[in-house]
Structure 1
Amino acid sequence: MDEKEILGRITEFIEEEHALREAHERGETSNADAQQRLRSLEVALDQCWDLLRQRRARVAAGQNPDEAQVRPAGEVENYRQ
């Protein structure tokens, strides 16, 4: 994925997150379903942001940004621990 595609995915995930939160507020989703999907979206967003940072760091270092890879959810989510 190039930077434009990653940013497009981020936008899609954010739009879905907002729509899901609005649907939940209107009572159109169950709390469990909404929470599970929100968590999934948060992880996907974290992975996209991480991939974008990797690509930009590679460009800054004169390396090939296409060699950046999506890291596993556990690695991205536990980054600061």
Structure 2
Amino acid sequence: MDNEHVDEQIIDNIGNLVAEERALRDRATEQQGLGPEDQARLRELEIRLDQCWDVLRRRRAKAEFGEDPGTVKERPADEVENYRS
């Protein structure tokens, strides 16, 4: 699979995750909060989005510098979530 196609798949995945996140946030506003399951799902979505953006950024950086973006692997959630620490 070519690199552009992989990037498009990642972007499509991001779009789907954002749509689900937005729906949950809208529901939270309408219902003045979310139940525990929806709160957990929202957190999962936030983490998954961070992972997708991380992969996409690193793939683009590799491509920009003439390296193979296909070598980029998804990092574990705890690594992506705590990289600022």
Structure 1 counterpart of 2:76: 72
Structure 2 counterpart of 1:21: 25
Give a deviation string over 1:8-52, Cα, whole Å, max 9, x none.
01000000001112223333x852112101100000000000000
Structure 1 counterpart of 2:9: 5
TM, length-normalised to structure 2: 0.85
- Take 1:24 and 1:61, find their aligned partners in 2: how far apart are those partners? 43
| RMSD, matched Cα | 1.6
1:68 is matched by which residue type in structure 2? V
Give structure 2 stretches of 5+ with no counterpart.
none
Give structure 1 stretches of 5+ with no counterpart.
none
Are positions 1:35 and 2:39 aligned together?
yes
- Off by >4 Å, runs of 4+ in structure 1: none
Give the number of equivalent residue pairs. Answer: 80
Are positions 1:58 and 2:58 aligned together?
no
Structure 1 SS opposite 2:61: helix
TM, length-normalised to structure 1: 0.89
